[in-house]
Amino acid sequence: AQTVTQSQPEMSVQEAETVTLSCTYDTSESDYYLFWYKQPPSRQMILVIRQEAYKQQNATENRFSVNFQKAAKSFSLKISDSQLGDAAMYFCAYREIGANSKLTFGKGITLSVRP
């Protein structure tokens, strides 16, 4: 079964600085999708960024970018110019190819932003 591991339960970053959140996953598949979701105190799950495993180029969405290392099964999220609104829980998630495949989530990491 696929597993997603987020080994750091908490991280803290100074406002305007850069922080990297780590994620590793285990799969025997060669093609799949990876996601980062943000859960602020409102509890809403918000998609931050997605990466298709067949694409070598790392995905970028404004201040958010990923470092996708397929051979190492690593998928880290970099947040640049951190803002107070970035404080939230962040979940890494994996999905197999297939219309009915589910998202498998890591345990999440709580990010705090210091003003």
- Show the 3-state SS of 22-54: CCEEECCCCCEEEEEEEECCCCCCEEEEEEECC
Q: Which of 79, 91, 94, 113 binds another protein (CB under 8 A)?
A: 91
110 binds another protein (CB under 8 A): no
101 binds another protein (CB under 8 A): yes
Q: What's CA 103's distance to the chain center, in Å?
A: 13
Convert residues 14-53 into a mask of x (bound to another protein by CB under 8 A) and - (unbound).
-------------------x-x-x----xxxxxx--x-x-
Report CA torsion sign: 85, 113, 75, 57.
Answer: positive
Q: Which residues bind another protein (CB under 8 A)?
A: 33, 35, 37, 42-47, 50, 52, 91, 95, 99-108
